[in-house]
């Protein structure tokens, strides 16, 4: 039987009167999983519990079969990219990552070789002589990721890893995360920016105010929400005529024209039936379709529905 990456049961963590995580029961499997929620939702608390940096207030958690808090074995298996910086600022990036590897027991030559490879893989130049104190935010993010990758862990914990990166850097890091998943590394990556995680994976955990609201694939979660009207924007040659044809359909609950006069917004409670019926309707009415867009297929819609339900 395959050991789950993370298995939590009734997991809670509080700081005095403040609840950081509340009664979370979840199993995280292999591959890339997105941990989503607004700032303060409990994402960092969950990752720190997984990493063994915090002890649960209640409930249990196992990571790769280990109880993380106090485990001597787990730090060897995990790579952690935290949301906060903790560097020796007067070192170069190569010196820092190599020092972390030497503290893990690697010989000096091996540590330097692995550090250079990890730094390059994260998009930095291992030959850079600049001290970490002079690094930009994006460079510091890449260095944290280098440190997490350098010892070749079997699982990665990435807390808001895209913060401070420019668009090119974000695209490169997303590609790297995909590559880690393909190589068999389990990755748990947190973010409050929904479209970024959607670019990394379709497997999500959605947290809000310390609670797990939903888990699974984006499409599976979206299928559970069909009781909510599904919004479709249709840019066509005859939007008013199309609206007249749709008004008698029982699954269509609202029709509205956008200010440009050429785009019809439809709300339907049965999206699959609507999409199946639309092409023959357009042909029969001789209406030319310019574009069709669903505004409810992404994580933003899933999050909006769940937190307001």
| Residue pLDDT, tens place only, 103-147 | 888 899 999 999 999 999 998 998 888 999 999 988 999 999 999
Strands 186-191 and 18-28: unpaired
User: Left, alpha or beta for 166 (phi > 0: left; psi -120 to 50: alpha)?
Assistant: beta
DSSP category for residue 192: S
**Position 2 pLDDT exceeds 80:** no
Domains of the chain: 6-217 (3.40.50.300), 230-308 (3.30.70.100)
Confidence of residue 223 (pLDDT cuts 50, 70, 90): confident
Confidence of residue 309 (pLDDT cuts 50, 70, 90): low
**Position 299 pLDDT exceeds 70:** no
Query: What percent of the chain has a predicted confidence (pLDDT) above 70?
Result: 94
| Residue pLDDT, tens place only, 238-247 | 999 999 999 9
Please choose, from the candidates 221, 174, 207, 211, the residue with its C-alpha nearest in 3D space to the C-alpha of residue 32: 174
Predicted pLDDT of residue 220: 79
Strand 18-28: give its sheet, edge to edge: 18-28, 6-15, 58-63
pTM of the model: 0.80
SS3 78: strand
The 10 Å CB-count burial string (b at 16+, else e) for 128-161 is: eeebbeebeebbbbbbbbbbbbbbebebbbbbbb
Strand 155-159: give its sheet, edge to edge: 78-81, 155-159, 186-191, 32-36, 203-208, 211-217
């Amino acid at each position: 039987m395959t050991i789950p990456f993370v298995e939590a049961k009734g997991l809670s963590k509080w700081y005095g009167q403040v609840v950081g995580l509340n009664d979370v029961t979840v199993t995280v499997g292999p591959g890339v999983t997105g941990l989503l929620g607004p700032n303060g939702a409990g994402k960092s608390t969950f990752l720190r519990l997984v990493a063994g940096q915090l002890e649960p207030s209640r409930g249990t958690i196992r990571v790769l079969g280990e109880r993380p808090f106090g485990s001597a074995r787990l730090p060897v298996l995990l790579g952690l990219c935290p949301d906060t910086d903790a560097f020796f600022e007067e070192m170069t990036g190569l010196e820092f990552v190599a020092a972390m590897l030497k503290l893990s027991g690697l010989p000096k030559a091996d540590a330097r070789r692995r550090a250079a490879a990890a730094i390059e893989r994260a998009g930095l130049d291992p030959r850079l002589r600049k001290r970490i104190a002079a690094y930009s935010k994006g460079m510091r993010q890449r260095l944290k990721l280098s440190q997490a990758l350098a010892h070749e862990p079997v699982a990665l914990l990435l807390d808001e890893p895209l913060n401070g990166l420019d668009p090119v850097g974000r695209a490169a890091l997303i590609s790297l995360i995909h590559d880690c998943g393909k190589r068999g590394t389990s990755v748990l990556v947190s973010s409050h920016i929904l479209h970024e995680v959607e670019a990394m994976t379709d497997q999500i955990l959605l947290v809000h105010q310390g609670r797990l609201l939903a888990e699974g694939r984006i499409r599976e979660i979206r299928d559970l929400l069909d009781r909510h009207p599904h919004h479709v924007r249709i840019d066509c040659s005859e939007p008013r005529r199309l609206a007249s044809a749709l008004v008698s359909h029982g699954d269509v609950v609202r029709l509205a024209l956008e200010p440009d006069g050429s785009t019809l917004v439809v709300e339907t409670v049965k999206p699959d039936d609507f999409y199946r019926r639309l092409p023959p309707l357009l042909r029969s009415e001789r209406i030319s379709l310019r574009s069709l867009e669903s505004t409810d297929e992404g994580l933003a819609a899933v999050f909006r529905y769940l937190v307001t339900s």
